[in-house]
């Protein structure tokens, strides 16, 4: 774990977060700057920088997808948007791959 990774510290319990879902492969917590009534971040427990790194680890990828499903089931979400940002130019500010699960309001397209 990189010593400066805030998401690794949240997963390790070193930084408090509002837990939404957890299993052996992923951890989900409420976003501190929500962009929708429901805004949850789902991260793999293993540190991977971004989506291309996640794609190189099929087990971690499957675990993250299962975590997203777990969040949807836990919160009883039938309609939700899942967003991955890869790179600072599109808004990734924490370089530990994570999915944003957004729900509770109409979503428009394109999102940008």
Q: Which of 25, 39, 96, 98 is catalytic?
A: 98
> Phi-psi region for residue 104, left (φ > 0), alpha (ψ -120 to 50) or beta?
left
Catalytic annotation present for 98:
yes
In the structure encoding, which two tokens stand for residue 62, read together?
């499957």
The backbone torsions φ and ψ at residue 99, rounded to the nearest 5 degrees and listed phi first, read -105, 135
Q: Annotated catalytic sites, by residue?
A: 98
């Amino acid at each position: 774990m990189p010593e400066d990774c805030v998401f690794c510290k949240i997963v390790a319990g070193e930084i408090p977060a509002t837990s939404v879902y957890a299993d052996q492969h992923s951890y989900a917590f409420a976003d501190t700057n929500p962009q929708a009534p429901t805004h949850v971040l789902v991260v793999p427990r293993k540190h991977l920088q971004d989506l291309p790194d996640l794609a190189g680890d099929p087990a971690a990828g499957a675990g993250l997808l299962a975590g997203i499903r777990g969040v949807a089931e836990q919160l009883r979400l039938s309609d939700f948007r899942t967003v991955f940002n890869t790179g600072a130019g599109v808004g990734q500010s924490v370089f530990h791959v994570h999915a944003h699960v957004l729900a509770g309001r109409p979503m428009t397209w394109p999102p940008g």
